[in-house]
Structure 1
Amino acid sequence: MNIVVWVNGAIVNADAPILTATDHGLTVGDGVFETMAVVDGRPFALTRHIARLAYSAQRMGIDVADAEYIREGVSAVRDAAATGARPFDVTRMRLTLVSGPGPMSSLRGEGPGSLIVIGTDAPAAKRCRAVRAPWVRNERSAIAGVKSTSYAENVVMAHFAAGKGADEAIIANTHGHLCEGTATNIFIEVDEEILTPPLASGCLPGITRGLALEWGARAGLPIRAAEVGELDMSVLERVREGTAFAAVSSSTRRVQVLDTLDGVALGRGPLLTRLSRIFDEFASDNPDPVPPRQK
């Protein structure tokens, strides 16, 4: 895998030391991040990802990087990858914002923080095999809905999934309601409509999730965010039985119908199959769909 790294205004070697040993991004996971697919040199939905990075940073109390400064880093990484000693096409970018040096406690220091942009040619996952996680997501957490670098919970659950021969784990919240995957949102096709857990479930407000809801509805699909408590975790039993269907969504997977759940091969729901196709068509026509309030 090829990689290009930009930190605080400059391209650096991929193995260069860029954080101090006391940086809170390292010691306590005090940071936020975004991951984007890159298609034909353009990070998909960059405007929305920058807006969500700012939202997450504000929720965490971290100084927000200027949007144009972030765009400069994105352009620098793309150009460096194309003109380096070993040119390559970037397929994935990650933005990371950490709070900077701090004390050996949860209290934050004075900074300054760091903005890191990474570009790679890592391939996107071609299929999704999921299992149900034995842990829950706390929908009342102080960072519920924030894309934080405090990702240990997801690492443990992803490792659990890998041990079961899967690459994603589906999580309930503390009420037993369907919530999300470790790195995805989830959609359920049931009773001739498509539902996805509401943000009140504690799930991340995924960029792809939001666009799938917008574009699916625009194309005439029966799709909506479920009411609170409407999607119980038990709906996954119907998915296993074939009377309902499931798909996951993320920036790199887009809308991807589940192949297996807990080792059981699944069928493809007709509505979710159409949603996946519709998403790809809309994304091809509009690689940077601006949020409505910014239009």
Structure 2
Amino acid sequence: MSKIHPWAYVNGRIVKSDEQAISLYDRGFLYGEGLFETIRVKRGKCLRLPLHLNRLNQGSKVLNITIPSLDKLETAIQSVIDANNLCEARLRVTITPGEHSTAGINTSSSGSPTLVVTAYQLPDLEPSPLRVITSSLFRRDERSPLSSVKSLNYLPSILALREARSAGADDAIMLNTKGNIAEGTTGNLFLRFGRILVTPSRDQGLVPGTVRATLIEIAPQMGMDLEERQVTKDDILRAEELFFTNAIQLMRPIKEVDGINVPMVKSPLFDHIRQVLEELE
């Protein structure tokens, strides 16, 4: 488990990370109603912060909840960086609608949104290539507007990861209701065919990641074609190389899917893409 840094931000205050500071009646605690972002801090600065804040804003519209202003979010984030004297870290921003105003499920809260920012030690940034399975139990619903929201209700990903670990694998690829590829449990999936990168399109039931957006933007500059489209399990078997992307580890190579070896792992082109992404930081 990643080490938790000692100071956190909770609703306008810097508090000890182990201090109980959230109401027992908070809608995020009671119902999983809320949003979160995981942000990489490098050399004391947040990477891809505008993309993260934009995703929070878009998610708030889907959930129809009020979130703090961008200025307040940036101030809260910076206060945690300063309080912990962070250089390299992982930040989590959590927002809920606040306290429940009455007993039972309803659509109202009784106060201001809850805003929490916590900081963690970074995990291994260059993990070993992954052995993954295709989750057979849990699927992303591409028909639901919630599929694109990074919400506090993370059960499908948690349970799919648990399924993978029980099977002796490191992670899982999640399908959508049509049986096509959606994403990994904590990141987006890319397939490489020569100099063509393929990733499931946004209508396939995935949470669109910040590194995914960056890679889509810069692929042509690297002389690569980028396709966002429906991806099938047969595409997985035909791909020369596979990798996940996420905000903390950038690119996570995959060496095996459902017991079948991936032809190439951490190829020179993979290393080049990672280098270009790192140079943008």
Fold conserved between structures, TM > 0.5: yes
1:130 aligned partner, one-letter code: V
Check 1:124–1:53 CA distance in 2 against 1; reply closer, same or farther (3 A cut): farther
Q: Is the 8 A contact 2:67 2:113 kept in 1?
A: no
Other-structure match for 1:154:
157
For 1:193 and 1:252, the matched residues in 2 are separated by 24
Q: Is the 8 A contact 2:133 2:171 kept in 1?
A: yes
Q: Quick one: distance in 2 between partners of 1:167 and 1:24? A: 32
**1:41 and 2:44 correspond:** yes
Corresponding pairs, count: 273
Partner in structure 2 of residue 248 of structure 1: 244
* Post-superposition CA distance 1:237-265 (Å, at most 9, x none): 335xxxx3211100012122213223444
Distance between the aligned counterparts of 1:148 and 1:163, measured in 2? 25
Offset at residue 77 of structure 1 (A): 0.9
CA contact (8 A) 1:189 1:269 kept: no
Q: Distance in 1 between matches of 2:209 and 2:55?
A: 9
Checking the alignment, whether the CA contact within 8 Å between 2:198 and 2:226 is kept in structure 1 is yes
Looking at structure 2, the residues matched to 53 and 93 of structure 1 have their Cα atoms a distance apart, in angstroms, of 14
Kindly report structure 1 stretches of 4+ aligned residues shifted beyond 4 Å: none
* Structure 2 counterpart of 1:112: 112
Give matches, 1:130-141, under 5 Å: 130-134=132-136, 135-141=138-144
Correspondence for 1:290: none
One-letter identity of the residue aligned with 1:248: F
1:21 to 1:43, Cα distance in 2 relative to 1, 3 A = same
TM-fit CA distance, 1:268: 2.4
Let me know the Cα RMSD of the aligned residues: 2.1
1:25 and 1:99 in contact (8 A); partners too = yes
Output the TM-score relative to the length of structure 1. 0.85
Alignment partner of 1:93 is 2:91: yes
Q: Which structure 2 segments of 5+ residues have no match? A: none
Query: Residues of 1 paired with 2:173 and 2:106: CA distance?
Result: 30
Structure 1 residue ranges without an equivalent (≥5): 83-87, 288-295
C-alpha distance in 2 between matches for 1:167 and 1:53 = 28
Correspondence 1:220 to 2:218: no
| Aligned with 2:32 (options 13, 20, 29) | 29
Note if contact 1:90-1:119 (Cα within 8 Å) is conserved in structure 2: no
Contact 2:89/2:119 (<8 A) preserved? yes
Q: Which amino acid aligns with 1:74?
A: I
1:260 aligns with 2:252: no
Please give the residue correspondences for 1:11-22 in structure 2 after superposition, counting only pairs within 5 Å.
Answer: 11-22=14-25
Partner of 2:83: 80
Taking the aligned partners of 1:25 and 1:15, their CA distance within structure 2 comes to: 18
Corresponding residue for residue 293 of structure 1: none
SS for the counterpart of 1:234 is helix
Partner residue, 2:74 = 71
Q: 1:170 aligns with which of 168, 173, 181?
A: 173
TM score, norm. by length of structure 2: 0.89
Identity, % of aligned pairs?
Answer: 24
